[in-house]
Amino acid sequence: MIDSDEALTEPVLEVDGLRTHFFTKAGVVKAVDDVSFTVGRGEVLGLVGESGSGKSMTGYSLMGLIDPPGRIVDGSIILDGIALRTLTPEQQRHMRGNRIAMIFQDPMMTLNPVLRIDVQMIEAVLAHKHVTREVARARAREALVKVGIASPDERLQAYPHQFSGGMRQRVAIAIALLNRPDLIIADEPTTALDVTIQGQILYEIQKLTRETGTALIWITHDLSVVAGLADRVCVMYAGRIVEQGSCEEVLAHPAHPYTQGLLDSVPANNERGQRLKQIPGMTPSLLDLPPGCPFRERCSYADAECEVSPEMRPAGGPGQSVRCFHPLVPVHS
Amino acid sequence: MTADVSALVELKGVSKRFVKSLDLAAKIGNRFGAGMKEEVVHAVDNVNLVVAPGEVVGLVGESGCGKSTLGRMTVGLLPLSSGERFWQGESLAGQDAGTARRQQLKMQMIFQDPYASLNPRMRVLDIVGEAPVAHGIIRGTQQVEYVGLMLNRVGLDPTLMRRYPHQFSGGQRARIGIARALAVKPQFLVCDESVAALDVSIQAQVLNLFMELKGALNLTYLFISHDLGVVKYISDRVVVMYLGRVVESAPSAELFAQPNHPYTQALLAEAGKVTPAKRTFVPIKGEIPSPLDPPSGCHFHPRCPHAMTKCREAVPPLIEIAPGQMSACFLNTP
């Protein structure tokens, strides 16, 4: 794995000012609102947030998978020098599964139940590469071995229902790896799995990013997974990144009151028998969100200043920045 | 059978078998010597469980280990295939219908999915107020007032009682589920993954509510969860299940400080800690076996790093290895 300083010098993905809005009858839902971040080669970026924070929609926006009434209204997405938003749909299709791949949450839904694994995998190779079926098959087998599937030749002949949940997720990861993409977006891939199986998947992922140098965006609500896996973390709230920085800095010295609140709410961080520290209230509706900091209603530091929306500014450790007027760590001018 | 009188709820040697009986084609096939057998799942296999008054017992395990089935049997939602159930030392088997009905009210269940466990066509007023009226705890005319009281207790605004479940958020629905269980004045609650579907910040609010209610109403909980962080925080005692059997049971502090069974050790190793330290994930080998065809002897032996020949042949007994700590592993009996 490349350390974060080196990764910053050579980003494989640069997202700047991304805005994805949904134009519904009830109003405009700003699911992703001014999101900017970079991911370096071989780097693991954890995208953390609660449900409705826009973390999955950020992933879908990068893949170009936003359906109407949703639309990317602003911002740029640059993958290895290619501006993804300027591409035609056909060119975008050529990027998906080839240069940029996604692993979805539910391994039961991602695989076609009526096609054998080999058919699905070979199809994915042939869609992007001019190779023979034999070469494609060999590559599919190689990918299965990489994700730790025993007896790959027999497994290629099997249908998805013959696999367990953990194995299906391994197959989904193998498919994402097939064309050796520059970037993999993983949307809560271990949420549906048991702890011991989740451990196995995380082990494989960690090994793969180390070996192949593929950049990885790991979308999750589970701070403990991010703590062990990610190099850098972006914390999202109500469609915005409220804090980003190295995993160590953000989790040990959170700058945003929301990050602090999230960490305090984790039962493992609390004394038994003591009241859990909780964030009051609930996530605001993204429909016609009032201006200003979206967290101010739940924040104990909020004052009149928070009525206007804060900008991202550097604070705390190197590479750490926060979108808050009252950060919990010193701000750099 | 004699029961522990000091216990509020006790299960003795309970088992649950789900049998898929032969269909017509298989029966005809058997006439011609096809030799088809009934499929039997031992969801829960000879489990003993004691819950003392005022105690919070955490029940931990991965999917398919039988923890939800055990929870449902504890409150009487599922009949026992074998074994016996006691309430304050009295057997619950063979009671007359009236007693059983009154008894049942003292044990309530809070379900996992706050979306699926509330009837979408009923207003909160009816969801919470139906049972206490039906059981004669309150009169029909008192319903509105009573439901308002219940909603206040779980931190919901009573003016919302004429709304339908879809008008509430996940955390609010979890609270409605809790209010419904509390409305019949139970002493014992089984919470089946009651906070699993909630976001971390909402989960903290609901866990705090559980602890407040425990103090205010003198409740006893059986808290079923796969999340070790939650269980560690809330439980006095923890019971670990694997494929239908209890493999370890110990006071919370001891279990998390010194896990004895290799499966518990593996679970604790995988349980995430929110400490910002990059760690190398070391997986346990293998999949969770199918309960249709569990491994012989100790169910965990194919995945266990310490497995011996003995583990394949015999079931290790659950024995006391330290005061209050029980473990089912041959490593403890050389």
Closest-CA distance, B41 to chain A, in angstroms, reads: 18
Q: What's the mean per-residue pLDDT of chain B?
A: 87
Helix (H) or strand (E) holding B242: strand B237-242
- Confidence (pLDDT) at B191: 92
Does the structure show a pLDDT above 50 at A4? no
User: What is the mean pLDDT of the segment spanning B113-130?
Assistant: 90
Q: Which pLDDT belongs to residue B248?
A: 94
For residue B334, give the amino acid letter: P
**Amino acid at site A56:** S
What is the rounded distance in angstroms from the CA atom of residue A123 to the CA atom of residue A126? 5
- At A91 the three-state DSSP class reads helix
The predicted pLDDT at position A6 comes to 45
Whether B273 sits inside 8 A of A227 (CB atoms) is: yes
Residue B236 Cα, gap to closest chain A Cα (Å)? 9
What span, in angstroms and rounded, lies between the C-alpha atoms of B281 and B301?
21
Contact B147, B161 (CB under 8 A): yes
Q: Residue A75: what pLDDT?
A: 93
pLDDT at A273: 74
Query: Which residues of chain A are within 8 Å of residue B272 when distances are taken between CB atoms?
Result: 222-225, 227-228, 268
pLDDT at B328 over 60: yes
User: pLDDT digits over B260-277, tens only?
Assistant: 999 999 888 877 666 666
- pLDDT tens column, B74-115: 998 899 999 999 998 888 887 888 888 888 889 999 988 888
CA distance B186 to chain A (A): 22
Give yes or no for residue A333 having a pLDDT over 70.
Answer: no
CA distance B148 to A302: 32
Confidence band of A72 (pLDDT split at 50, 70, 90): very high
Which chain A residues are closer than 8 Å to B277 by Cβ? Answer: 227-228, 248
Chain B, nearest residue to A225 by Cα: B272
Distance CA B163, CA A161 (A): 41
Q: What is the pLDDT of residue A3?
A: 45
How many other CB atoms are found less than 10 A from the CB of residue A292?
Answer: 16
Q: Residue B201: what pLDDT?
A: 83
Contact B200 A197 (CB under 8 A): no
Q: Sorting pLDDT into bands at 50, 70 and 90, what band is A136?
A: very high
Is residue A323 within 8 A of residue A240, CB to CB? The reply is yes
pLDDT of residue B278: 64
Check residue B96 and give its pLDDT.
Answer: 84
Q: Which residue has the tokens 């003292």?
A: B106
- Residue B274: the pLDDT is 65
> Looking at CA atoms only, how far is residue A280 from chain B in angstroms?
8
- Asked if the model's pLDDT at residue B314 lies above 70, the reply is yes
Of the pLDDT bands very low, low, confident and very high (cuts 50, 70, 90), residue A297 is confident
Residue B1, pLDDT above cutoff 60: no
Helix, strand, coil shares, percent, chain A, to 5? 35, 25, 40
The whole-number pLDDT of residue A283 equals 80
A73 has pLDDT over 60:
yes
User: CB–CB of A202 and B200 under 8 A?
Assistant: no
pLDDT tier at A151 (50, 70, 90 boundaries)?
confident
Residue range B130-141: mean pLDDT, rounded: 92
Q: What's the average model confidence in pLDDT over B225-252?
A: 91
Q: What's the length of chain B? A: 334
Tell me, what's the ipTM?
A: 0.77
Number of neighbours of residue B128 by Cβ within 10 angstroms:
29
Q: Which of A208-212, A249-253, B56-60, B66-70 has the lowest mean pLDDT?
A: A208-212
Interface mutation target, options B209, B252, B270, chain A, most CBs of A under 10 Å: B270
* B280 touching A (Cβ < 8 Å): yes
B63: which chain A residues are within 8 Å (Cβ-Cβ)?
194
CA separation for the pair A180, A84 (Å, rounded): 18
- Find out whether the peptide bond into A69 is cis, omega within 30 degrees of 0: yes
Gap between the Cα atoms of A193 and A180, Å rounded: 25
pLDDT band at A36 (very low <50, low <70, confident <90, very high): very high
Amino acid at B153: R
In this structure, chain A runs to a length of 333
Q: What was the pLDDT predicted at B129?
A: 93
* Residue range B28-41: mean pLDDT, rounded: 82
Question: Which of A200, A249, A251 is opposite residue B283, by nearest beta carbon?
Answer: A200
pLDDT at A106: 80
Query: B238 pLDDT exceeds 60?
Result: yes
Beta pairing class for A321-322 and A240-246: antiparallel
CB contact (8 A) between residue A262 and residue B200: yes
Task: Name A126's Cβ contacts closer than 8 Å, sequence gap at least 6.
Answer: A133, A136
User: What would the pLDDT profile of A253-291 be if each residue is shown by its tens digit?
Assistant: 999 999 999 998 888 877 777 888 888 887 888 887 888
pLDDT top residue among B62 and A15 = A15
pLDDT tens digit string along B7-29?
A: 899 999 999 998 888 888 888 88
Does the beta carbon of B201 lie under 8 angstroms from any beta carbon of chain A? yes
Tokens (6 digits) for B19: 């049998």
What is the average pLDDT value for chain A, to the nearest integer? Answer: 88
DSSP H/E element including B193? none
Interchain CB distance below 8 Å, A275 and B208: yes
Q: Which chain A residues are within 8 Å of B211, Cβ to Cβ?
A: 275
DSSP A96: B
pLDDT for res A1: 41
Percent of chain B scored above 70 by pLDDT?
95
CB contact (8 A) between residue A276 and residue B233: yes
Based on the number of CB atoms within 10 Å of its own CB, is B207 exposed (0-12), middle (13-18) or buried (19 or more)?
A: buried
Q: Chain B residues with CB inside 8 Å of A161's CB?
A: none
d(CA B277, CA A226): 10
At B3 the pLDDT is 63
Asked if pLDDT for residue B59 goes beyond 80, the answer is yes
pLDDT at A47 over 70: yes
Residue in A194, A221, A278 nearest the CB of B62: A194
pLDDT at B44 over 60: yes
